[in-house]
Amino acid sequence: MAKRKVKNHQPSEKWTKYTVKGDTVERKPSCPKCGPGYFFADHKDRYYCGNCHFMQVKTK
Ligand SMILES: [Zn+2]
């Protein structure tokens, strides 16, 4: 049995999408067209709704 090599892998930082505030969990902004429950996909420079294909450019 060969020893399993451990690669330098990046952990999926899924938890960075969540912010716990007291008893509630805040997530990425939801789609204004589809309403709460439809969250934007977080891209490098924009948010994207997979449901209605609405795109919102990030402003920083
Ligand atoms: Zn939408």
CA of 12 to the centre of ligand 1 (A): 25
| Coil/strand/helix, residue 55 | strand
Q: What does the pLDDT read at residue 52?
A: 95
DSSP 2-47: PPPPPP--PPP-GGGG-EEETTEEE-SPBPTTT-TT-BPEE-SSEE
CA of 30 to the centre of ligand 1 (A): 8
More confident call, 55 vs 19:
55
CA of 14 to the centre of ligand 1 (A): 21
CA of 11 to the centre of ligand 1 (A): 28
Q: What does the pLDDT read at residue 25?
A: 64
* Tens-digit pLDDT profile for residues 22-52: 776 666 678 889 988 888 888 899 989 999 9
pTM for the complete prediction?
A: 0.52
CA of 36 to the centre of ligand 1 (A): 9
